Amino acid sequence: MNDPSFPRVARSRFGVLPDGGEVERVILQSEDGLEACIITYGASLQALLVPDAAGRRDDIVLGHDAFEGYLARRQFFGATVGRYANRIAGARFTLDGAEVKLAANNGANALHGGLEGFDRRNWRIVRVEEGDQPAVTLAYTSADGEEGYPGTLDVEVTWRLVGPMELTLEMTARTDRTTVVNLTNHSFFNLSGARSGRSILDHRLTVAADHFLAIDVGAIPLPQPLSEVAGTPFDFRDGIEVGARIRNDHPQLRVGRGYDHNFCLAPAGGAPRFAARLDEPTSGRVLELFTNQPGLQVYSGNFLDGSTAGKGGRLYRQSDAICLEPHAWPDTPNRPDFPTARLAPGELYRHNTSYRFTHKVQGAIGTQSEVESPPKGTAR
């Protein structure tokens, strides 16, 4: 039964920028224990508290307890990434016959929006909604030429709690000049808890993809047909532990130092479809991800090297988290054979992703049964 007196939205100051600007935090809460904390810096998911099978809540995303950690080092913890998530080869592409030169910030390539992407901007809060589906909407205007991208881009991001245990993310964008747009959220998940000290190698991962993109040493897709997952360590269609094959001698695991690859989902558009599922055996937490995006970047935390202290003062090390980033395929502006990321004036870019949480409980004979089953027929 809904309690009308239950506080569903709280808003407060989280930090101060060097120029004196205020960074705010909005906390969205449900009576069932799901709690999402969003900060204006990077329109980031700063914390996500989820109950386990016994009802104990824990924060399941990596990040920092205080704003200073986000400002000190750029690591994309929970951030909104744009104008183009992932990589663009050579930090350049051709659009309508004109060459577009970007800021190179990953060797010769452009990564996650350039030197100062959307993750390094302090977004403005334009709307806070209370009620049964509490939400916050943040906005940012990217100027024409910012990081080299053409067109003034008006972006809005809405985080919303829906149903008993579901967090949704809607991203929209409009431009006054033809450009490319590819947004994502870059949360680092550990369903054991961000302070647990456990790795994600025992998390069981399912990905609804028959193909993935093989990459070169710069993480740029190779100029070859899509690679089939069948018979490789990249086959997660039926669910397998992340660590089960991560150390296999496969050339793509060597070049990525683990998983850091785009999985090719169903074509973009329409309602969000099942893309991935993550199960953690100890807590019983289950995350199901639905999206309308054509790709899912799976990153197994390969470059977390213990040089950053995060929540609770814990040093984040390799495989301490996994990122599931729905977005367009990498280097799409240079690959006419890939689904387009082009946005023209009068068009609306729309990215929808849902994070749905359930949990498993121990059965009478030691097997696990799900409290809420996933949709049928969505695993492949």
**Cis, bond preceding 25 (omega within 30 deg of 0):** no
Which helix H or strand E contains 311, and what residues bound it?
A: none
Give CA separation, 156 vs 65, 296, 313, 345, 376, in Å.
25, 21, 33, 16, 33
**Catalytic annotation on 146?**
no
Give CA separation, 262 vs 45, 217, 252, 354, in Å.
22, 15, 12, 19
> Which of 147, 203, 325, 327 is flagged as catalytic?
325
> Which of 64, 112, 186, 261 is flagged as catalytic?
186
3-state secondary structure of 148: helix
Distance CA 151, CA 187 (A): 27
Distance CA 308, CA 250 (A): 29
Of the candidates 257, 324, 262, the residue with the CA atom closest to the CA atom of residue 290: 324
Name the token pair of 212. 């993935």
At residue 136, φ and ψ (nearest 5 deg) are -135, 135
**Catalytic annotation on 186?**
yes
Question: Looking at the annotation, which residues are catalytic?
Answer: 186, 325
